[in-house]
Amino acid sequence: MATVHLNAIRLNGIIGADRKLTVQLPLDVPDGPVELVVLLPEKAESPAEADRTEGSSARELLELGKLPPNARPSHELINEDREDRF
Protein backbone atom coordinates (compact mmCIF):
# COMPACT_ATOMS: atom_id res chain seq x y z
CA MET A 1 0.00 0.00 0.00
CA ALA A 2 1.40 3.40 -0.98
CA THR A 3 2.01 5.97 1.72
CA VAL A 4 0.48 9.40 1.14
CA HIS A 5 2.28 12.36 2.65
CA LEU A 6 0.22 15.46 3.36
CA ASN A 7 1.47 19.03 3.65
CA ALA A 8 -0.56 21.55 5.62
CA ILE A 9 -0.91 25.25 4.90
CA ARG A 10 -2.91 27.69 7.00
CA LEU A 11 -5.28 29.96 5.08
CA ASN A 12 -8.04 32.35 5.98
CA GLY A 13 -11.29 32.27 4.07
CA ILE A 14 -14.75 33.76 3.96
CA ILE A 15 -17.99 31.80 4.02
CA GLY A 16 -20.68 33.74 2.19
CA ALA A 17 -24.43 33.74 2.73
CA ASP A 18 -24.61 31.24 -0.16
CA ARG A 19 -22.61 28.76 2.06
CA LYS A 20 -19.65 28.84 -0.34
CA LEU A 21 -16.11 29.12 0.97
CA THR A 22 -13.75 31.55 -0.75
CA VAL A 23 -9.98 31.27 -0.24
CA GLN A 24 -6.96 32.52 -2.14
CA LEU A 25 -4.34 29.79 -2.54
CA PRO A 26 -0.62 30.48 -2.97
CA LEU A 27 0.67 30.11 -6.54
CA ASP A 28 2.82 27.10 -5.62
CA VAL A 29 -0.20 24.98 -4.61
CA PRO A 30 -0.79 22.39 -7.36
CA ASP A 31 -4.24 21.62 -8.66
CA GLY A 32 -5.88 18.35 -7.65
CA PRO A 33 -7.76 16.84 -4.71
CA VAL A 34 -7.29 18.21 -1.19
CA GLU A 35 -8.56 17.44 2.28
CA LEU A 36 -10.22 20.46 3.88
CA VAL A 37 -10.66 21.06 7.62
CA VAL A 38 -12.78 24.07 8.58
CA LEU A 39 -12.21 25.62 12.01
CA LEU A 40 -15.05 27.92 13.07
CA PRO A 41 -14.81 30.50 15.85
CA GLU A 42 -16.88 29.49 18.86
CA LYS A 43 -19.78 31.78 19.65
CA ALA A 44 -22.59 31.85 22.18
CA GLU A 45 -25.92 30.89 20.68
CA SER A 46 -28.63 33.50 20.78
CA PRO A 47 -32.21 32.44 21.68
CA ALA A 48 -33.17 32.92 18.01
CA GLU A 49 -30.46 30.50 16.89
CA ALA A 50 -31.44 27.96 19.54
CA ASP A 51 -35.07 28.01 18.31
CA ARG A 52 -34.36 27.65 14.62
CA THR A 53 -35.84 24.60 12.93
CA GLU A 54 -33.81 24.71 9.70
CA GLY A 55 -31.15 22.06 10.31
CA SER A 56 -28.88 21.45 13.28
CA SER A 57 -25.92 23.46 14.50
CA ALA A 58 -22.43 21.99 14.51
CA ARG A 59 -22.62 21.69 18.30
CA GLU A 60 -25.90 19.74 18.08
CA LEU A 61 -24.46 17.39 15.48
CA LEU A 62 -21.46 16.65 17.70
CA GLU A 63 -23.79 15.81 20.60
CA LEU A 64 -25.74 13.28 18.50
CA GLY A 65 -22.94 10.73 18.61
CA LYS A 66 -22.45 10.82 22.38
CA LEU A 67 -24.00 8.19 24.62
CA PRO A 68 -25.22 9.03 28.11
CA PRO A 69 -22.74 8.18 30.90
CA ASN A 70 -24.78 5.17 32.10
CA ALA A 71 -25.40 3.69 28.62
CA ARG A 72 -24.41 0.09 27.94
CA PRO A 73 -21.52 -0.37 25.50
CA SER A 74 -22.52 -1.03 21.90
CA HIS A 75 -20.77 -4.43 21.80
CA GLU A 76 -23.00 -5.68 24.66
CA LEU A 77 -26.13 -4.67 22.78
CA ILE A 78 -24.88 -6.29 19.58
CA ASN A 79 -24.01 -9.55 21.36
CA GLU A 80 -27.41 -9.56 23.08
CA ASP A 81 -29.13 -9.07 19.72
CA ARG A 82 -27.12 -11.91 18.19
CA GLU A 83 -28.02 -14.24 21.07
CA ASP A 84 -31.73 -13.57 20.52
CA ARG A 85 -31.43 -14.83 16.93
CA PHE A 86 -30.05 -18.27 17.87
CB 76 within 8 A of CB 70: no
Residue 24 is which amino acid?
Q
What value, to the nearest 5°, has the Cα angle with vertex 59 and ends 57 and 61?
70
Put residue 38 in one of left, alpha, beta given phi > 0 → left and psi -120 to 50 → alpha. beta
pTM of the model: 0.38
What's the pLDDT tens digit per position in 18-60?
988 888 888 888 888 888 888 887 776 555 555 554 566 777 7
Say how far apart CA 24 and CA 26 lie, in whole Å.
7
